[in-house]
């Protein structure tokens, strides 16, 4: 993913609200599965890390990206943004995707 594509996704993410919250139990298998399932409906997901979670948001973002086969777009404070394009019908067209950029 290029820096231009990442910047584009960050701009889209600034307009969405978190759909999940990580709490004191951190990353359970059920939470990871719920995030994975959410990619069936959304390509871009924002997750909030609550104050009672003792784990580092950067680590949580990296682990979630690995487990869900998605891209970690950014971690700002206690907000994580993940991106996973739809294999069949991508709804978000990234700048420069498909080699059309000059």
Give residue-wise pLDDT tens across range 4-58: 999 999 999 999 999 999 998 889 999 999 999 999 889 999 999 999 999 999 9
- Residue 78 forms part of a structural domain: yes
Number of domains in the chain: 1
- Residue 95 forms part of a structural domain: no
- Residue 89 forms part of a structural domain: no
Joined together, the tokens standing for residue 27 give 């990353």
d(CA 33, CA 96): 31
CATH of the domain at 19: 3.30.110.60
- pLDDT attached to residue 99: 46
- Residue 74 forms part of a structural domain: yes
- pLDDT attached to residue 39: 92
- pLDDT attached to residue 32: 93
- pLDDT category of residue 66 using cuts at 50, 70 and 90: very high
- pLDDT category of residue 98 using cuts at 50, 70 and 90: low
C-alpha closest to that of 6 among 97, 89, 79, 101: 97
- Residue 91 forms part of a structural domain: no
- pLDDT tops 50 at residue 101: no
- Residue 90 forms part of a structural domain: no
Instruction: Print the domain residue range for 13.
Output: 3-84
Q: Residue ranges of the alpha helices (H) in the chain?
A: 3-13, 29-38, 57-68
- pLDDT attached to residue 95: 84
Asked whether 83 and 43 are in contact (CB, 8 A), the reply is yes
Asked whether 6 and 73 are in contact (CB, 8 A), the reply is yes
- Residue 44 forms part of a structural domain: yes
d(CA 70, CA 84): 5
């Amino acid at each position: 993913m290029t820096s231009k594509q990442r910047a584009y996704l960050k701009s889209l993410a600034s307009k969405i609200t978190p759909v999940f919250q990580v709490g004191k139990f951190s990353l359970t298998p059920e939470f990871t599965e719920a995030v994975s399932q959410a990619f069936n409906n959304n390509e871009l997901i924002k997750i909030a890390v609550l104050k009672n979670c003792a784990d580092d948001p950067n680590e949580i973002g990296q682990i979630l990206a690995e487990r869900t086969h998605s891209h970690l777009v950014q971690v700002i404070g206690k907000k994580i943004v993940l991106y996973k394009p739809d294999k069949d019908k991508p709804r978000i067209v990234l700048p420069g995707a498909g080699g059309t950029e000059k």
